[in-house]
Structure 1
Amino acid sequence: MLMMRTKLAIILLICGTLILGVFGVFNYHKTHERLYGQMDYKLSAIATRLAYRLPENMWNYDFDTVIKDLESESTSRFVYRIEVISKDDNFRHITAPKDGEFDNEFRLRSIPLIYNGLDDETKVGDLIIYEDPRSVESTLTSEIVSGIVQVFLLDLIIMFLIWKYARAIKEIESSKNYLNTIIHSYKDGLLVLGENHQVSTLNEAAKRMFELDDVPLEDITLSKIIAKVVPDSRAYFSQSLYGFNTKNINYELIRTHDRQIVQVRSNKIDVNEKTLQVAIIRDITEQHLDKMKVSKGAELFSAVKTLQDKFLVSDDFHNSFREVLKILLKIGESNHGIIVELDHGEPDRYRVLAQTRLIANGYVSEDFVRDVVGRVIDTKKGDRSLQLMGLSANSGKLIINALSMPLYLSNQLVGVVCLFDESTNYEDDLVSWLEPVLSSLSAMVNFVRQKKLNDMISEEMVRAKEDAERANEAKTNFLAMMSHEIRTPMNGIVGMSNLLKETDLNQQQSYFVDTLIHSSNALLNIINDVLDLTKIEAGKMRLIEQESELTDLVHDALVVFHAKAVEKSLRLHCLIDPHLPRWLILDPVRYTQIILNLVGNALKFTKHGSVMVHLSLVTEGGSDMLRLEVKDSGIGIPEDKLHNIFENFTQVDNSYSRSYQGTGLGLPVCRKFIELMDGDIRVVSKEAVGTTFTADVPLVVTPKRPHTLLEGLVVNPDVRDMKVLVVTEDAQLYMVLSTYLESMGMAVEQLYGKSVLSESIDGSSLLIIDDNMMSDVRPAISRAANTILISHNGIVEQMGMPCLINPINPYALAHALTYDSPIENNLQEENVEPVHFGGLKVLIAEDHLVNQDLMVLVLNSLGCESTLADNGLQALEQHKANPFDLILMDCQMPEMDGFEATRNIRDFDQNVPIIAVTANALSGDAERCLEAGMNAHLAKPFTKDQLVNLMMLYVSDAKRNPVSEEWTFQRETSVEAEDHTKGERLSPAIVACTSFDLDQLKDQVGDSAELLTHILTKYLSTQQADLDAFESAMKVSDMSGVRKIAHKMKGAAAMIGARELADICLSIEKEDVEASDTIPIQRKLEQIHDKTAAIRREIENLVRSHLHFTSL
C-alpha cells in the first residue's frame, strides 16, 4: 500500500513538472515573439517620425532642432543610440549611448533622409538607429526564471498535498482501526444493517451472542441472526432491529448450552449518502434473573404481607398458619410439611400449628416427625438431610429429603418448620428465599403468646405519646406566653427606668440607670432571638437594615457587660478603627445580638485577664468588610471541639455546661445572623491561652453620611498641643487610647513602673490615669496641666477629677478633652433638629376609623397635610385627580385591596413613594408588598419613629424642612399647656393597663391626654361595629367575610397595643374552615368578646379617671 502511494506521488510529480515545462516553453516563445514584435514596432515608429521631421530641419540648417528630436527619441528602451550624418558631411550628431557596450553588439537600422520641399526629392543625409534588445532579453530571462520557480513551487505544492493526503489516509485508517477496536471490544452487541438488509458490521460480542464466532462476516445474513431468537419473538425482534418497536422488550436467544435474554435499541444514521441501521443488543440475562428473583421475592413478600394483615385482624390463627404452610410448600416444591410452636414453659414440648394431610392422618409416623423436630430443638440449628421416613400404614420405610428450620424471635427459639419431599433436593438458596417467610412466621408464632403483653405495651406507648404531645404543647404554649409574660415586667422596668432618668440624678446614678435601661433592652432582644430560633432554622428570618451609628451601637451593647466584668475583675476593652465610617447600613438589632453573644461568651469563659473587642475595616475579594474580633484570655476550646462549636445546644463538654451554664444557642444564632448578612464567622483557640472569634460582614456606607469615625470632632488647639501621658500597665488600654488620640493629632506616651513619677510630667502635660495606678502617680498629679481618670468599676465621682469609664468611647474621650462640662458616656457630635415635613401631601388608604385617626394625628404632628381614602379604589381615583407626595397603603381593604391599587398607580406614576401599613407580619408579606410596587413595608403596630425613619428614606430633601419657628412655638405652647398636669400623678395600680399597651400608643401619637382619649374612644365605637359585623357574617356562614373582618379588627387592636386580641384575630384570619364547621370560630369569638370587654372596661376607667397621660 505504501509503495503504491509512493509511485502515485512520483507520477503526479513528473506529470505536473512536464505540464508546467511544456507550458513554460510555449509561454517563452509567445513572449519572445510578442516582445520582439513590440520592439520592431516601436523602432519603426521612431524611424518614421524622425524621417518626417529631420530632412526639413537639416535642409534649413536648423541643427538644434535636429539634436532635440534625436535626444527625445533616444530615450526609448529599445534604442541604444541614434546617429545622423548630413550628405555633405558638414553635420554629424550621435546621441549618448546608454552604457559602455560595443557597437557591434547591436543591430543597426539605416534610414535615408529625403527632403521633398523641391520639385525633386533630395537626399539630405542618413539616419542610423542602434537597436537595444537587452530589455527584451531581460524580460525573457525573467520569464524563464519565473517558469522554473513556478514549476518548483508547484512541485512543492503537489508534494505537500500528497503528504497531506497520505497523512489524512493514515489518520482515517488509524481512526478506523481505533473504531473497530472499540466496536469489537464493546461489551454489548453491535449490528449495522445496510441496504437490502445486508449485515455491514457485527462485533465480537454480537457474534458470541448469536453463536456465529466462526462464520465470516460476508456469510452472515440477517435471517441467520433472527433464527437465533425464539420463534414467538422473531417478528418483534426484527421490528426492534429497524427501530419500529421502542418498548423495552426482552428477547430470548436459542443457544446450545444456556439461555440468554437480550434487549435491542436501534437508530438510523446517514453515512456517505447511505442510510444505515445501527442496533445495540444488550445482554440482560443477569438483570433479568435478578428481576425475576426480585419479582418472586415481591410476590412472596406480598403474600406474606397479606397473610400478616389477615392474621392481625383475624381471630382464626390456625387458618393463617395453614396458609403460610401452603406458601412454604409451594416455594420449597414439597409435598409434606409441619409447623410447630414450642411451649413457653417447657421447651421440650411443642404444639402443632399446621400440618399437611398425610402427616395429620398419621400416614407418616409420629415418631419420625418428633425425631426431626427434636433434633432442631436440641441443636438450635436447622438441618438438611436424606432420611428414612416411617410409614404408619404398612410399617414401611420411604427415603425422603428433609429440611428442618428453627424459628427465632429476639434470639429465642419459638418454633420449628419441617418440609419433606421424595424428589426435591433442597439447595442452600432455598433457605435464603424462605428467610422472609420464616421471619414473618416467627413473628406470627410469637404473636399468639405475646398478644396480651403487646396490648399492654401498646397502651403504654399511647399514654407516653399523649404525655409527650401534651408536654410539647405545653412547651409551645410556654414559649408563646413567655414573650408576653417577660416583656410585661421588662416594659415596666424600662418604663420606670426612663422615668427615673428624668429625675434629678448625680452622674453615678445616671450611669447606673443607663446601664439598667441598656441591659433591659438587651434582655428583650435576647428573648426575641431565642423565640425566633425556629424561624431562623426555617430560613424565614429577615434583616431590617437601616442607618446605624457604629460607635453608639457597639458601646450600647458593651455597657450591658460592665457589671459582669467588674464582678469578675476582668477588663473589657473596645477599639473601633478610626478609619471606619461613622454611619453604616446594617441591621442594628441583629448586629447588636452578635456582639452580645460573642462578648457574653468571652466574659463567661474568662476567669482572669481581659476581653478585647476590635472593629476594623478589611478588604477581601475586592469588597470592603466590617470585621469584628472578640479576643479573650479565657479557658480556650480544645482543637477537637472547634468543628461543632457553632451547632445548636452545643458546648465544649458537659463539665463546661455545669460550670458556666448556658443554652448553647448563642454561637449558632450568631452564625445564622452573620450568614444572613452574607458574612463569615470563624474561631481560633488554644486551651488555657484564650479564644478569638472573628466575624466579617459586608460594609455598606450610607451615601448621605460619608464621614469617618472621628471626622468632625474638633479638639482645642491648646489641648492638642499638650503632651499626653497615659499612666497604665495595661497594654490593651494604652493601644486603645493611643489609637484614638493619635487620630486626633495628639502625641501620646506611656508611663508605668518607676517612670510614673517622671520629670516629664509638667504644666504642659495631660495625664490619663488608669485607676489602679492612682496611688502610684498621685504625688505627680499636681504638676500636670489636666488629668483624666480611667475607671474600670463604674465609679466616676469622688475622685476630684474628670473620669471616663472603660471601655473607652472615642466621643466621650474627645468630649473629656474640652474640660468644659461633665463627662458622659456618649457625645453627640451635632444637635439633631426635630423632623418636620411642612406641606407634605400624604394620602392615607385605610378602612378602619381608629387607624385613620391615629395616622392623621401622627402625620399632623409632623406638619403633613393628610387625606383619607376608605379603600383602594378611592385611593387610586384621588391620586389620579390630585397627585400626592406620599401614600400610606393598607393591604386589606374592601372593593380594591392595597396590592391591586398599588399596581394600578404604578401604571401611571412610578415615582410616588408608597409605604405598606398592614397588620400582616407574616414571613413573605413584605416581599409581596414589594412585588406589588410598594417601596417599603411597615407592620402594625408601629411607632412614630419607625414611620419617620421610612419617610426620611423615601421623601426627597426638598420636602423635608427644619422646624419652622411657628411650628416650634406651637409645640412649646402645647408642652407648656400640659406641664400643669404633671402634679396629678396616679398610682401605678391605677395606671396599669393589662389588655392593651398604653406606652405603645403614646409612642405613636405622643403624651397628649386629649389625643389619646380621642383615639381610645374612637376605638371603642369602631370595635362594637366590627363585632356586630363579625356576628352577622357568622350567622350567614360567610367565612370569607369573617376573615376580612378579623383582619380589620387585628389591625386596630395592634395599633393600640392589644396584642392578645390581635393574635386571636390573626388565628381566625388564618383559619381554613368550611361554612359547615364554624365551631372553632365560635370558640374564638367568645375569646374576642372577653378581650374586647376587658379593653372597654380599662378604656372607660381611664377616661372617667381623667388620666393625665403626660405624667406617665
Structure 2
Amino acid sequence: MGVSESQRNLARAAASRMANIYLRLFATATITVVLYLAAGMDWIWIWAGVYLLALLGEQWATRSVAAHPEATPSPWRRWALTVSPFLTSATFGFLALPLFASDLRFAPTLGAMLIAGSLLNVIVVNGSLRSATLSAALPHLVYLLAAPLIARTANPDAPLANVLWVGAALLIISVAVASRTLSAALQAEADAKHEAELRRQEAEEAVAAKSAFVAMISHELRTPISAILAGAARLHSEVPEASSKIHAQLISDAGGLMRALLNDLLDFSRLEVGRMAVEKAPFNLRQTLSDTLRLWRPEAAKKGLRLRVVGAASLPKWVSGDALRLRQVLNNLLSNAIKFTDRGAVEVRLGSRDEGSGHHLTITVVDTGSGISQADMARLFTPFEQLSTSVVRQHGGSGLGLVISRELARLMGGDLVVSSVEGQGATFTLSLQVEAAEAPQVGEVGPSVAGTRVLVVDDHVVNRRAIELVLQPFGVDATLAESGEQALELLSAEVFDVVLMDVYMPGMDGREATRVLRSGSGPNRDTPVIAVTASATPKDWDACRAAGMNAHVAKPIDPIELYAALAQVLSPDQRDAANRTPAAATP
C-alpha cells in the first residue's frame, strides 16, 4: 500500500474516532449513573473521570490528523494515534473486571455485555486502520481471557466456570472474523471509489478532448462554409443570367445545409457538457412566430399541404425570452411535420396562460402524416437516431434536431412531448416560460456603415476574402491583415473605424491582440473591436468582452448579423461605452 493510501486510512480512522466521541460519552454517562444508583458503586465516578481524561488525550492526538488528511503526521503523532486507542479501551474495559468478580446477580452478565459492545464498537470505528483495531481490541481480549479465571476464583464450585473458556474463545474468533470481513469490505469500497474516480477523470478528459475536437473541426469547417455562402451570395447578385442565378442559389442552399448540420453538432456538443445557455431579451412574439411560419408556407405549398394557424390572437405581443432558440425549435418541428406529411395539413395551435409575472406558452404542431409507432417513439429523442434507413436515404438529417429541441425547451423552462397513433399523424407540443415585457421605444435610424474603414484580421486567406466579399455591398473600405502582430502594426500607423478580429489565430490570438491594443496609446486605442469566432458560446463572449472587445459575430458570417454589429458599434451610444471599455481591459 502506498504512503498516500496509508495516510488516507490513518485520517479516516482518526475522523471516525472523533465522530464516535459523543456515543462513547453518552455510554459512559449512562453506565456510571445506572451502576451508581442501582448498585451503589461509589468508585464508578473515579472510573468515569479516568476514562474522560483518556478520551481528551485521544481527541488531542487525532484532531490535527483528521483536520489535515493530506499532511504527513510526525512519527510521535503516529505513535500517539496507535497508543491512544489502547489506553481508552483499557480504561473502559477495566470496568468489566469488578463486574466479573461481583456476587451481585447479573453483574457478570453486564461485564460480558460491556466487553462485547466495546469490541463491536472497536471493529466498526477502527476498521479502516489495522494497527488501531489491534491496539483498541487488545485490552478487551485480555479482559475477556481473564473472565474465566475471575469467575472460577469467585465461584470455584460452579460447573460452568470452565465452559467460559469456550465462550471466550468463540467470541474472540467471531470478533476476528468480523474485523477481517469489515476490513475487506472497507478496502473493496475504497478500491471502488478509487476506480470510480479514475473513470470520472477519464470521462472528463474524454469530454474535454471531444469538445476541443469539435471546436477545432467547427473552426475548420466554418472557414470554407463562409466562403461558399459569401461567394454564392455575391454571384447571385451580380450575374444577369437566370440559369447562373439558379446555380448560385443551389450553391447557397448547399452551404446553408452544411451550416445547419454543423450548428446541430455544435449545439449538441454544448448541451452535452452543460455549456448551452438561453438569453432573455424583449421580442415581438407574434411577429417572430408569423415570420417563422411564413418561411415554411412555400415548402408546404410545394407538397400540396395546408399550413393552418390557430390561436394567434390569444398570445401576448411583447415578451422577454430567447427568440432565436424559439425559432430554432419551431423550425425543427415544422420541418419534420412537412417532411413526413404527404397529404392533408399541418396545423399550429398556439396558446398562452398567465403565470405570475410571465406567461406559459404552448405551441402544438399537428400533422396528418403516417404517424409514429410506439417502438419508434421510444427512440425519437435518442441522439443520431433515425426511424429507419429509408428516412435517412429520403430525407437525410443528423438525427439531432428533436434532441436539441427538447433540451432547448427545458432550458427555456418548458418541455417538448410527442403523442402519435401510427397511421394517424403526430402531435408535438412545445411548452416554455417567458416573462412579460414592454415594447421597446422606437429609436433613431441606425448609422450608415458606408465609407467605414474596417480592418479585417484573420489568419486564413479564405476567411479574409469571404469577409471582404460580405463587406463590399455595404460600401465599406476593408483592409486585410493575416495575424495579430500585423494588425497591431497597421493599427499603430493608420486610423480605422472598426476592427473585425478573429479570436483563434496562431501566435497572438484575437483576445491578446485586443488587450495589447487597449493597453497602448495609439490612434486606435478606442476603436471598436468585433470578435469573429466559430465558437460563439456565452463563455467565449465573456472572455472576449473581458479582453476589451465590443461585439461579436459567429462564423459562417451572416451579412445581416454583420451589418447589425457594425451599426451597433458605430452608434454614438456604443462609441461612448467603448471609450470606457479599455480602462477595464488594460492589464
The TM-score, its normalising length taken from structure 1, stands at 0.30
Residue 696 of structure 1: aligned partner:
432
Equivalent residue, structure 1, for 2:348: 613
The alignment status of 1:669 with 2:401, answered yes or no, reads: no
1:867 is displaced (CA, Å) by 9.7
Asked if the contact 1:493–1:520 (Cα under 8 Å) also holds between the matched residues in 2, the reply is no
d(CA) in 2 for partners of 1:213, 1:651: 79
Q: In the alignment, does 2:142 pair up with 1:527?
A: no
2:46 alignment counterpart: 223
User: How far apart are the structure 2 equivalents of 1:572 and 1:585?
Assistant: 26
RMSD over equivalenced CA pairs, Å = 6.7
| 1:710-859 aligned within 5 A | 836-837=448-449, 844=455
CA deviation digits over 1:184-218, x for unaligned, max 9?
A: xx965449xxxxxxxxxx8434446xx5453559x
What is the identity, as a one-letter code, of the residue corresponding to 1:674? A
Question: Do the aligned residues in 1 keep the contact of 2:362 with 2:429 (CA within 8 Å)?
Answer: no
1:214 aligns with 2:38: yes
- 1:289 paired residue number: 123
Q: 1:618 to 1:521 in 2, by over 3 A?
A: farther
- The one-letter amino acid paired with 1:916 is I
Distance verdict in 2 for CA 1:673–1:480, change over 3 Å: same
Distance 1:480 1:424 in 2: 70
Contact 2:353 2:359 in 1 (8 A): yes
Q: Secondary structure at the match of 2:112?
A: coil
Cα distance 1:950–1:489, how it changes in 2: closer, same or farther (>3 A)? closer
Question: Following superposition of structure 1 onto structure 2, how do residues 374-389 of structure 1 map, counting pairs within 5 Å?
Answer: none
2:258 pairs with 1:258 = no
Greater fraction of residues in helix: 2
Render the CA deviation track for 1:574-614: whole Å, top value 9, x for unaligned. 468367659998564x5444233212433466566422124
Question: In the alignment, which residue of structure 2 is the partner of 1:934?
Answer: 549
Q: Which residue of 2 aligns with 1:952?
A: 567
Q: Which runs of 5+ in 1 are unaligned?
A: 1-185, 192-201, 263-282, 300-422, 437-471, 707-832, 961-1112
> Structure 1 residues 863, 598: CA separation in 2 closer, same or farther (over 3 Å shift)?
closer
> Match of 2:38, SS?
coil
| In 2, Cα distance between equivalents of 1:239 and 1:652 | 70
- 1:238-257 alignment, distance < 5 Å: 239=57, 249-250=84-85, 251-252=88-89, 253=92, 254=94, 255=96, 256=99, 257=111
Match of 1:88 in 2: none
Distance apart, 1:925 and its partner CA: 3.2
Say whether the 8 Å CA contact 1:611–1:633 is kept in structure 2.
Answer: yes
Residue 918 of structure 1 contacts residue 940 of structure 1 at CA under 8 Å; is this kept in 2?
yes
**Does 2:288 correspond to 1:554?**
no
- Cα gap change, 1:288/1:556 in structure 2, threshold over 3 Å: closer, same or farther? same
2: CA distance between counterparts of 1:523 and 1:235? 79
Look up the equivalent residue of 1:258 and give its one-letter code.
A
Is the contact made by 1:561 and 1:600 (CA closer than 8 Å) also made in structure 2? no
SS at match of 1:696: strand
Flag the structure with higher strand content: 1
Match of 2:421 in 1: 687
AA matched with 2:440: P
Cα offsets for 1:403-438 (capped at 9, x unmatched):
xxxxxxxxxxxxxxxxxxxx99998999999999xx
What does 1:1045-1064 align with in structure 2 at a 5 Å threshold? Answer: none
Q: Which letter does structure 2 place at the counterpart of 1:236?
A: A
Q: What is the CA–CA distance in structure 2 between the aligned matches of 1:652 and 1:860, rounded to whole Å?
A: 45
CA shift in 2, pair 1:672/1:849, >3 Å: closer
Q: Residues of 2 paired with 1:223 and 1:835: CA distance?
A: 92
1:595 aligns with 2:341: no
Distance 1:609 1:490, change over 3 A: farther
Secondary structure in 2 aligned to 1:682?
strand
Query: Larger Rg: 1 or 2?
Result: 1
TM-aligned CA deviation for residue 492 of structure 1 = 12
Give distance in 1, aligned partners of 2:390 and 2:471.
Answer: 57
Q: 1:631 aligns with which of 350, 359, 366?
A: 366
Aligned length: 433
Counterpart pick for 1:537 among 234, 256, 272? 272
5 Å-filtered alignment, 1:228-627, equals 236-237=54-55, 239=57, 249-250=84-85, 251-252=88-89, 253=92, 254=94, 255=96, 256=99, 257-258=111-112, 285-290=119-124, 498=236, 503=241, 520=254, 523-532=257-266, 533-541=268-276, 550=288, 551-563=290-302, 565-566=303-304, 570-574=305-309, 577=312, 586=322, 588=324, 590-603=325-338, 609-615=344-350, 619-624=354-359, 627=362
Q: Distance between the aligned counterparts of 1:515 and 1:845, measured in 2?
A: 27
CA distance in 1, matches of 2:227, 2:557: 21
Change in 2 beyond 3 A, CA 1:949/1:575: farther
User: Which residue identity is paired with 1:214?
Assistant: A
Q: What fraction of aligned residue pairs are identical, expressed as a percent?
A: 21
Deviations 1:128-169 (A, max 9, x none): xxxxxxxxxxxxxxxxxxxxxxxxxxxxxxxxxxxxxxxxxx
1:631 Cα offset (Å): 1.8
TM-superposed CA distance for 1:237, in Å, is 4.4
| Alpha carbons 1:915, 1:935 under 8 Å: kept | yes
Give structure 2 stretches of 5+ with no counterpart: 1-21, 65-80, 100-110, 134-168, 183-209, 576-587
**Out of 30, 40, 52, which is 1:204 matched to?**
30
Counterpart residue identity of residue 632, structure 1:
D
Q: Is the 8 A contact 2:309 2:349 kept in 1?
A: yes
Please say if residues 683 and 692 of structure 1, whose CA atoms lie closer than 8 Å, have aligned partners that are also in contact: yes
Contact 2:552 2:565 in 1 (8 A): no
| CA shift for structure 1 position 930 | 1.3
Q: 1:958 to 1:294 in 2, by over 3 A?
A: closer
Cα shift at 1:684: 5.7
What TM-score results when the alignment is normalised by the length of structure 2? Answer: 0.51
8 Å CA contact retained: 2:126, 2:132: no
Partner of 1:969: none
Residues 345-385 of structure 1, C-alpha deviations (whole Å, 9 max, x = no match): xxxxxxxxxxxxxxxxxxxxxxxxxxxxxxxxxxxxxxxxx
- In 1, Cα distance between the equivalents of 2:172 and 2:378? 56
Residue in 2 that maps onto 1:914:
528
Q: CA–CA distance in 1 between the matches of 2:381 and 2:356?
A: 25
Give the superposition deviation at 1:671: 1.5
- After superposition, the Cα gap between the structure-2 partners of 1:258 and 1:284, relative to the gap in structure 1 and judged at 3 Å, is closer
Q: What per-residue deviation string (whole Å, max 9, x for no partner) do you get for residues 690-718 of structure 1?
A: 42422436377873669xxxxxxxxxxxx
Moved more, 622-631 or 886-895: 886-895
2: CA distance between counterparts of 1:867 and 1:657? 45
| Contact 2:449/2:474 (<8 A) preserved | yes
In 2, Cα distance between the equivalents of 1:493 and 1:534?
29
> Is this contact kept in 1: 2:228–2:251, CA < 8 A?
no
Task: Indicate how the Cα distance of structure 1 residues 501 and 560 shifts in structure 2: closer, same or farther if over 3 A, else same.
Answer: farther
Q: Deviations over 1:306-358 (max 9, x none)?
A: xxxxxxxxxxxxxxxxxxxxxxxxxxxxxxxxxxxxxxxxxxxxxxxxxxxxx
The amino acid across from 1:683 in the alignment is V
- Distance in 2 between residues matched to 1:288 and 1:603, nearest whole Å: 72
Change (3 A) 1:621 1:522: farther
Judge conservation of contact 2:568–2:574 (CA < 8 Å) in 1: no
Counterpart-to-counterpart distance in 2, 1:922 and 1:668: 20
- Tell me how far 1:950 sits from its aligned partner: 0.3
**Mapping 1:158-177, distance limit 5 Å:** none
Contact 2:333 2:428 in 1 (8 A): no
Q: Do 2:292 and 2:331's aligned partners in 1 also have CA atoms closer than 8 Å?
A: no
Q: CA deviation at 1:949?
A: 1.4
Shift of residue 927, structure 1, vs aligned partner = 1.9
